[in-house]
Structure 1
Amino acid sequence: MSLMGMRHGVKKYAAWIYVPLALSIVVGTFAAFGSNLFTGGQDTAAASAEQPVAVVGGISVTRSTLDRQLEGALQQQRQYQPNPTPLDVARTRLMLLEQYKQQAAVAAAAKAEGVAVTDDDIARARDQAWSLQRGQFLSLLNLKPTASDREIDAAIARQQPGMTLNDLKEQLFPVEQIRYNAMYEKLQDTYKEAARAGATADKVKQRYSDIKVRHILIKTGEGGMPEEQARNKAQKLLDAVKKNPADMPRLANENTEDPGNQPPGKPKQGGVYDWAPANRYVPAFTDAALAVKPGQVNPDLVKTSYGFHIVKLEGIRPGKDLPKDFDKNKQKYIDEHVNSVAAQKAQDAIVAAQPGVKVEIRDPLLRAVQLHQEAERLPPTDKKGRADKLNAALTEIAGIKDGAGGEVPFLKAAIYETLDRPQDAIAAYQDSVKSRDSVDTRLALARLYLKVKDTKSAVAQIQAAENLVRGEVQSQGEIAFLYSQAGRADLSKQANQKYQEMLKRQAQLQEPPPGGANVPLPAADTGEPKAGG
């Protein structure tokens, strides 16, 4: 992430961390309302006997636990990816494990600050989480938005005698899941007092100024150096810049690890970020820039969750974003600033705690998927590093017996594709089709056959994919494209006509019906925080 995206990232992180992992379960639970909402929890004896697929921060995570949360996560993803592949599903499981890691980091950061969560804190956090879902739940119960708790109790009891709204809240928002909401909020609160101490109206107003800055970033954490090593390198660079400030552009181009220093299609920027409102950056960076005069380098290293920064203020001018009502509503803007600083401090503390959270993945399929992801993150020039990880992934799944979903051969095929072994990938995808015949697998086979110049087989796979398409507009568009690549203009034309018809139908479905405002609205918005604002 470039520095310009860092403040946006704080908002995104704060929104995500506030929604507990339990909410990913709630989505699936609501969707299945009337069938499995009141069926009770997992059998305790069975759960205790089940072997964990991973241990995160000392907490065992079983496959059944992960799969219950998986359904909710997949339902959210289906809004933009209707038919996830077996690889997508496995990656979603890894994403859920990453959320467990984030939660463990929240707990560690809270403990380091002496934050303790009480039963009252958990009750308040649960009530707040419920308020985000209440509207959706009432619509599923065919109740009005103004329904009282007594009316909700009665509606629940009709479906499950003896169950109350409080019972339901405890089922939807388990104690250990909702606890992290309270931890995060209280962690933020610990930083608000210090943030408020330096938040005068003049200082907050200055943050709406436009600034031009130059900086060098030495990353820490994932993809960066160990903290002490990064600090030492950054300090040497800072000393060099102090000695010869004119040399900073060259040092930035040679050393900065900020991707924003070289926008796509442009030369390196010498560490410069052009004019932008000061409050677009993370608070610590803004503070460092505004602490010096134009043309000066901040004499201290600046630490953020991204690493160590060397900051030079190139210029400052009155900003265009200063709210017109700032002088009238100073306290409102001071409070917003305090909350922003506290959120950033909380994020920094959580990121700093992450390296101490041990994640042990015991499931070989998930280890293989993780290795595949790590290989894809390596630069294409690191052929040996990529090959080593991919071959290790193949070793992990060598002894796994495939299930009904065709996960193992599909993953093998993806690995072989990354290794540029098309014939092996074709064989693996063909094995996958035996368990799971799908549009995505057939199209993958078609692309591979085209790559090895087997046009006849490619056309056969495209036709098989076309027979499986059930309204997937994007897939139909790719079918038309692949027919064209196979030299079948006639079939491409027919497929493209279907594609255009599907696009037209999709647009018609998205048009508001006549009378717009007078038609019944869909289920009420839950009010769940939107990532990134």
Structure 2
Amino acid sequence: MKMKLLTAVASAVMLCTLAPVVLAQNVAIVNGKAVPKSRIEALSQQIARSGRPVTPEMEGQIKDEVIAREIFIQEAQKQGYETTEDFKTQMELARQTLLIRELFTNYQKTNPVTDADIKAEYDKFAASNGGKEYKARHILVEKEDQAKAIIAQLKKGGKFEDIAKKASKDPGSGAKGGDLDWAGAGNYVAEFSAAMTGLAKGKMTETPVKTQFGYHIIRLDDIRDAQLPKFEDVKPQITQQLQQQKMGKYQEELRSKAKVE
């Protein structure tokens, strides 16, 4: 009897000794099931990967979330949702999504867009968008006779902005007195661009300019060197654009190599 008592006492002591160790490895024990701390680390990493910093204030919330998930998982398992065909289908789709994401994430890590690539793309943009910018106004009408009548009215002292507001069928610029703001010549159709760039500063077209939109009276208010955004300001957008292009090319290569029957 004495030996049995000593054995029981020893077992109790051992359990008391192990309890802190078990708790140290787990977040909590929910209905007798241990919830490992690794779940907190996994959820924290997921939050960090989404771009949100894991602050000390969030640690308690993450712990509560992990425990809550275990409670809900146990109930879902108890009700048999884990064995349904719909659940198995959703799990397979999730598995595919995660695998594909890992594939593409690893590709981006091993095939990064370099600073040289970004600078080259910016230089190409600058070359094609450099030169001059023009600040022009226009009045757009449907018929040539209307345009000729407006030109005559302007020559007699009519105010361009007022006539544009009343007569122009271009709703965007008409409401602003025909103002087209600053833009490169390449932003306009060829006929409009040729007529505009042929004007001296402050002058308007003497005859109506016909385009696919109708007949224009154009006035050139000012000319300046093209105002390009600074490299550092557009670097993030260029980086993202090049990453998307590189990823698209990689995906296309995988499709072309695959044997699909």
Give TM-score scaled by structure 2 length: 0.38
Greater gyration radius: 2
The structure where strand makes up a greater share of residues is 2
